[in-house]
Chains A and B, each alone.
Chain A
């Protein structure tokens, strides 16, 4: 947030769950002033209320929920019952001085309570409003509800994942579109701000989180478009690259990650070209694999020996831990990586050298090492100025900025329009 690139841009964050909140945190990391408006007194965000993801400890459970901490740094928090007249009036005042409003609700929700595009455009003709439903604002799925995992199904991505031949029921569900949607927020907002300078007028941006993602699968789209083939599930294999796989490492268990489990550790190994293969051959103690006389020394020779090479590398991978195998191969010029558990972030020498993890002090979580930023910027490096905000933490500060007196703020508290503790 000490990054200044978006300094002076005021953003109202009315999003929940992950894609929207993370996108708004990224805008804040870049220097925008992001005001997060949370529903009150109704607890609506599943990331504050879901079970099993909060550490035991002091303070209300909604302040300790890890799913919420994943996507809400560097924002100023305001609670507001926007369905009350007083809450709606406060929101109108905020909108009138904002540059950007990010709406994370299903298509039509804000419109029904008087904050549709026509309404906010009249309040503030320069406002950039971004709505980001899973399938977009228009079309037959308008108003449909989903999480990122549902979008993975309708984008075609889910059918590309998994092991060849595996039952569909066993495809793991993932939330990748939350990560793509978060970046989509940054891009859509910046495109809108640039466009505002050209047209001297605010605008509405319709971002389907599906559409913010599907451009990341150009190969699969082209396979069907150019050749009429629906790409099969490949597992970890690549039809043109051998080796390209994931192997069970030795050294037994991912002991740091999971001391009580019998979880094995895994290592990824790949070679796109002969030089990288040379590195793998050398590291594995089989330099002859890369001799010109050896059939595996060539791209085509390796393609023809896929099963034998996989067996050879499986045997090698079992001789060390995932880290030992991958370090040996990487150092020798091949491609390899341990399949990491989150705990490995703490022991990663490269992360340590770059100081990537951030020490963050939170009122209820204490001192935590949190993931770092998606980019490093010189001269104005990003930083965590505000840890994951507490409910209504900045109510007074923000309402004062838009002209409310202490007395008026107290009245809003008394009438339950704002607050910092959910009623039981």
Chain B
């Protein structure tokens, strides 16, 4: 059977103003309703893929996670949903019954890839069902905290517990103090971004060699395997330096007070230190072994810090930033989220963009493109509003050939919403 030819889902017109998008003509199914699943398909959606979001009847984590405007909960108005579900089509489906499974199959038929983030038992069920398509079926990208099999497979995890398992949390603290997470859901969305990358590769591979692939993206592996896990320095040196030594110990990196806040300075290697000493008017410090000799640095850290503070105390963050950068010093102003959204570089590049949302939210400001493809008149990245809960249920059921009577029956039986 050649199910790929049986597709009856129409391809929506994804071209606007003649813009050709890289993932135009590619269909992705996202199952799970989680932040991780929503994050995994977002960039594909914004660059032109037709992403069909199969949502659980309770809306799932992506729609339930605060913040909401005015702190009033609403399935269509959550900040995570509004930012991560842009441009997707929403169908609400109970997949824990044969009628739901059949709908899932009809939606998946002819799709390029299905991204699955479900508890392992459910995920295995969905994978088994998709296997009915054989080699013609969509590739799959399955997201689990620990993998589909193994002693931890069924352990429940969340953003902070996954993070704790990857070595970063311990490093993100000082000796004797409580280890700290990053900002909420940053680890989860890093895992999601890993799944995005694997998904794009699977689509590319399939288009070129025809091979249907089954990919697992395991949260602990996606995070532990990336470059900042610090396993390798430990493995190579056997170092007992379990944690970061802290900013008090010369000379790594740290935040130094300016007249209106803090400047981040990086002097991790001798040439960076030299540039800084010259730029702040103390070139002799760069030649002073008390400052550059690793064995003496810690004892004389105060002298170094005093020199830096003398320079920074009469300058704002941005004055010092521009002046020091003009001399090749690695530095950056420490700014909060509101300042980041109005930072001159962010404004000049439109790092954040406005989108007119559905659901009475009005215009929201969210992160803009993660990268910009030049060489045509504009970046083929387009932000569209996030869908209302179940906004496209009827549209999609019609596309896959369900009559209005059949759609009524599905709704009445609690299969769709």
Contacts and interface: CB of A to CB of B under 8 A. Distances in A.
A208 interface: yes
B200 to A, nearest CB: 4
A194 interface: yes
B205 A371 contact: no
Given A171-B255, A230-B338, A339-B179, A7 B209 contact: yes
Q: Which of B67, B179, B182, B365 has the most CB of A within 10 A?
A: B67
B215 interface: yes
B230 A342 contact: yes
B294 to A, nearest CB: 7
A341 B227 contact: no
B260 to A, nearest CB: 13
Interface residues of A, number: 166
Interface in A150-176: 150-151, 153-163, 168-176
A109 to B, nearest CB: 12
B170 A266 contact: yes
B372 A206 contact: yes
Interface in B184-207: 184-186, 189-190, 193-198, 200-202, 204-205
Contacts of B228: 18, 148, 174-176, 178-179
Given A176-B190, A179-B227, A260-B240, 8 more contacts: A146-B331, A156-B336, A194-B22, A203-B375, A226-B364, A238-B184, A340-B169, A371-B224
A205 B156 contact: no
Q: Which 9 A-B pairs have the closest CB atoms?
A: A222-B79, A5-B205, A218-B83, A150-B332, A203-B375, A156-B340, A156-B337, A337-B161, A207-B371
Given A207-B371, A354-B150, A168 B186 contact: no
A227 B221 contact: no
A267 B161 CA distance: 9
A190 B198 CA distance: 10
B217 A230 contact: no
Contact of B268 (A147, A153, A330): A147
B227 A173 contact: no
Nearest to A257: B242
| Max chain B C-beta neighbours (<10 A), residue from A155, A218, A348, A368 | A218
A272 interface: yes
B345 A136 contact: yes
Contacts of B243: 263
Interface of B is mostly: mixed
Contacts of B156: 276, 330, 333-335
B294 A52 contact: yes
Contacts of B82: 218, 222
B373 interface: yes
18 contacts: A5-B202, A22-B226, A22-B227, A30-B201, A139-B345, A153-B255, A168-B262, A174-B228, A179-B228, A210-B345, A218-B367, A222-B67, A335-B161, A337-B161, A341-B234, A349-B152, A356-B224, A368-B236
Given A226-B364, A369-B235, A378-B215, A340 B165 contact: yes
Given A172-B173, A221-B83, A199 B368 contact: no
B13 interface: no
A26 interface: yes
A113 interface: no
Interface string B155-193: 111101110111111111111111111111110011001
A215 to B, nearest CB: 4
